[in-house]
Structure 1
Amino acid sequence: MSDARPVIGFIGVGLMGHGMAKNLVTKGYPLVIMGHRKREPVEHLKSLGATEAATAREVAQACDIVHLCVTGSPQVEALMRGPDGLLAGARAGAIIIDCSTSNPVSTLALAAEAQARGVHFVDAPLSRTPKEAEAGTLDTMVGAAPEIFARIEPVLRCWAGQVVHLGPVSLGHKMKLINNFVAMGYAALYSEAMAIARKAGLSIEQFHSVIGSGRMRSPFYDTFMQWSLNHDENAHRFTISNAHKDMRYLASMAGELGAVNPIQADVKNLFAAMEAAGQGERFVPMLADFVAGINALPPAHG
């Protein structure tokens, strides 16, 4: 490990963050992490050589580049602001990378606050699953000035197989919301199509025999269908509450833009209904069960 390498901070070592942080430390970067409510990932990363800080301010004081990988904008804002926040501890020239799926309005506001302190705030949200996070093959879409992107690209490539620089700050989060609308739209479409198929006398296996071997098949389809076909809850671990949050952010963005979004509104409301029914912590493929229930059918996996 070269002394010239920047010290990397990581806050949010959960389902996605643990694998990302693991790849950073095992690929030779000094790593400082902030304590997490689940101690297992923290202790594992410490066993690999990471050190632990108690607050976001302490992470910022020790690091050149800090990653945030938390639920959304309220959590990011809380970590950035206040006497124990990142901005209170970050030195001039430091870079904060928000890998969360955040509201672009918040992202632009935080970037301005950071700039006033000589700190760079950029967005690099993620695509794919915890499996790819562990493997270091996530996709990321980045909003950053060109010179800042050049500084962080080698770091991003420790945990990402595909890195797309879209342009200025906030374009990463805007594209991520659009990406998630496409994904959650597929989830809603598959769930409704399976329910109709079942009511028409077709089995899930028959549905899959056609869709899963034709042009409609995709990597998203492959992981989504593992619940309905094999009752595998670990293939696609993204919660209903997170999906609903992302769809709320996109609806807000569409409203600000004056965009017409009738399909997205229906997708958002389907996730809202499942969360309102007390199933927010279930994973997105389990939407098939919820839609089956609306149609007076038993769970899709039988």
Structure 2
Amino acid sequence: MSNPTHIGFIGLGVMGEPICRNLARKSGARVMAFDLSKEPLQRLAADGVKTAATPAEVMQQCDVVFLSLPSGEVVAALSRDANGLLANARAGQIVIDLSTSSVNTTRELAGEFQGRQARWVDAPVARTRAAAEAGTLAVFVGATPELFAQVRPLIATFAADIALCGPVGCGQVVKILNNMMLFEHVVAISEAKNIGERAGVDPKVLFETLTQGSADSFALRNHGMKAVLPGEFPERAFSVRYAQKDLHYALQLADETGVDARGAKLVDEWFDQAIASGAGDQYHPVISTLMARKD
């Protein structure tokens, strides 16, 4: 298993397709993939990726199976389907979930796969599609040190920074909190832009000057400078709806751990407002356009 000869991949969306391509090009293994859409499968065929007819076929043919799916709910449904991942899991197989899922779902599924003598790794990814294409994602892993050592070389085909965060579920904890902090920062950036502009400061001057002080951050230089400042909030980026899904995982975790996460709750209100205004499918910093108070 340290050098798997057959790798499976399920879910070829915005992030999944370039991750799968890097695995096919760099892992030295044969890769089989499944997706409901035919287009990414057709594009990946040029890199030798074989098309599977069903997720069951991927599980039956592959030693290691990667998942890159929209939510933990989708992961759980696919796993527990009558002819799904669990029904076709076997002893020694490794399933690596790159999706962002709830911590509870992750740990429950890990236990269910363990009952089939298969192993589960949560490895949610961070950064952009461009990073996925370049193979420079950040990945937060929940696994035993021994299992981490086994899967790390495969993850390294598409990631530049790989962190073992603790046992199963801990990768999801770190990813969820990473996104929660980012969303809260985007709210602060959006507030600053709107206040500064109305108080007479050019937003470009404001943001460029803030990068020179203690307010500087990745979020300011990327979400602020590249989305909020030019007002560019495309679809098929990290949309409000997807962001809110991750935020709800964080709020669920806060509730379970007894933490009053007021900042995260405020972000949730902005996401609700964005969806109500028809902007739910746009890049999540679009909330910056909603802050002009109507007196």
Structure 1-normalised TM-score? 0.91
Cα 1:217–1:6 change in 2 (3 A) is farther
Q: Which residue of 2 aligns with 1:295?
A: 293
AA matched with 1:68: L
Secondary structure at 1:139 match in 2: strand
Calculate percent identity across the aligned residue pairs. 35
Counterpart of 2:57?
A: 58
SS in 2 for 1:161: strand
- 1:35-184 matches, cutoff 5 A: 35-37=35-37, 39-184=38-183
- Which residue matches 1:300? none
* Matched residue SS, 1:122: strand
Structure-2 separation of matches of 1:21 and 1:214: 39
In 1, the alpha carbon distance for the partners of 2:210 and 2:54 equals 49
Letter in structure 1 aligned against 2:252? S
Letter in 2 for 1:49: G
* Matches of 2:235 and 2:219, distance apart in 1: 10
Query: Which secondary structure state, in structure 1, belongs to the residue aligned with residue 179 of structure 2?
Result: helix
Does 2:239 align with 1:239? yes
Contact 1:226–1:235 (CA<8 Å) still a contact in 2?
no
**Counterparts of 1:181 and 1:8 in 2: how far apart (Å)?**
32
Q: CA RMSD in A?
A: 2.0
Look up the match of 1:248. Answer: 248
* Aligned CA distance change for structure 1 residues 295 and 202 (closer, same or farther; 3 Å): farther
Aligned equivalent of 2:265: 265
The aligned amino acid for 1:89 is N
Q: Which amino acid aligns with 2:218?
A: P
Partner letter of residue 73 of structure 2?
P
Q: Which amino acid aligns with 2:133?
A: E
Q: Which amino acid aligns with 1:40?
A: E
Instruction: Tell me if 1:10 matches 2:30.
Output: no
Work out whether residues 142 and 164 of structure 2, in 8 Å CA contact, stay in contact via their aligned partners in 1: yes
Matches within 5 A, 1:203-218: 203-218=202-217
Q: Distance in 2 between matches of 1:141 and 1:4?
A: 22
**Number of residue pairs the alignment of both structures matches:** 292
Q: CA deviation at 1:295?
A: 2.8
SS of 1:237 mapped into structure 2: coil
After the TM superposition, which of the residue ranges 231-240 and 94-103 deviates more from structure 2?
Answer: 231-240
Structure 1 residue 231, shift from structure 2 partner: 4.7
Confirm or deny: 8 A CA contact 2:98 2:124 kept in the other structure.
yes
Gaps of 5+ in 2: none
CA drift of 1:34 comes to 0.4
Report the Cα distance in structure 2 between the residues aligned to 1:4 and 1:129, rounded to whole angstroms.
Answer: 28
In 1, the alpha carbon distance for the partners of 2:213 and 2:234 equals 25
Q: Distance in 2 between matches of 1:196 and 1:232?
A: 19
Q: Using the alignment, how far apart are the partners of 1:141 and 1:31 within structure 2? A: 23
Q: CA deviation at 1:216?
A: 2.5
